[in-house]
Chain A
Amino acid sequence: MDEKNETRIERQGDISILHIQGDITAHSETRINDAYKELNDQGPSPIILIQFEPDAYINSGGIAVLIQILAKTQKNNQQIGITGLSEHFKKIFRMVGITKFADIYADLDEALQSLS
């Protein structure tokens, strides 16, 4: 169910942006973990910004994948931000406690300005 989904890496100074297109479910585990590995293989990545699509379908399996990424960023002393979430998923991320470990930004511009 995940064929149309893509993940892309972009660098802006010290900030590595992980553009995650499409659904975030348990099926996303490999592509998101691979993208995180690739991002680190490209060079030092002290700040990571994850950008979702506002209409993305995110379920508990996808949130679990994101928690795995947060665990890795904590271990690697990387700062992490998240943007592109709908108001509903901002609420969900607060409920689960993700906001204790990652800052959520309204849009890409705000995120880049704050993280720079």
Chain B
Amino acid sequence: MNEKIRMLDDRTVEVNLPNVLGYERIAMECSASFAKIGGLVKERIEDLKTAVAEACLNAMEHGNRDHPDSRVIITMYLGDKDFKVSVMDAGDGMSIIPQHIDIKKKIEGLEPPNGLGLFLIQQLVDQVEFKKMNGGGHVVKMVLKMEN
């Protein structure tokens, strides 16, 4: 598998992943290492890792529809006051972004047990934007603020 990691400039890293479940962990670890350099605290690094993993999984399964030739591109920017991550796929994005989870309905079988990823992303990062791109594709932009 040809995953590619490169520095676009001294504050920006790009990870270009094949559309393979499990490879989201490369993006998780890369973002964690980069954010640690910037001083993001341990608890927030765990939040970042889960948010990045869920955005990548969503991109692979729903955006790229498990298509083996598609790619997931993760761009990370280390700012002075925040850490930004975008996850891009070839899809159209989601029509509905769940704002809350009704666990009781899931337990009772009234809703499918899955569909937790987007909810978790919104809970774990400070800002998130789901955006359809003009030239095709979809991007999830996430921001975590550095704490002094």
Contacts and interface: CB of A to CB of B under 8 A. Distances in A.
B116 A1 contact: no
A96 B116 contact: yes
A67 B21 contact: no
A49 to B, nearest CB: 19
A90 B114 CA distance: 19
Q: Which of B46, B47, B116, B123 has the most CB of A within 10 A?
A: B116
B54 A74 contact: no
B97 to A, nearest CB: 14
A88 B114 contact: no
Contact of A95 (B21, B109, B114, B123): B123
Interface stretch (B71-79, B99-107, B137-145): B99-107
Interface residues of B, number: 28
Main secondary structure of the interface of B (DSSP, over half): helix
A68 B53 contact: no
Interface string B86-111: 00000000000000011110111100
Interface stretch (A5-13, A57-65, A103-111): A57-65
B50 interface: yes
Contacts of A1: 21-22
Contacts of A100: 103-104
B13 interface: no
Contact of A61 (B101, B107, B108, B114): B114
Contacts of B123: 95
A97 interface: yes
A96 B103 contact: yes
Given A1-B22, A60-B120, A88-B50, 15 more contacts: A25-B22, A26-B21, A27-B21, A57-B53, A60-B57, A60-B114, A67-B113, A70-B107, A71-B106, A71-B109, A88-B47, A92-B50, A97-B104, A98-B103, A100-B104
Q: Which 10 A-B pairs have the closest CB atoms?
A: A97-B103, A1-B22, A88-B46, A60-B116, A67-B113, A64-B113, A60-B117, A64-B114, A71-B107, A67-B106
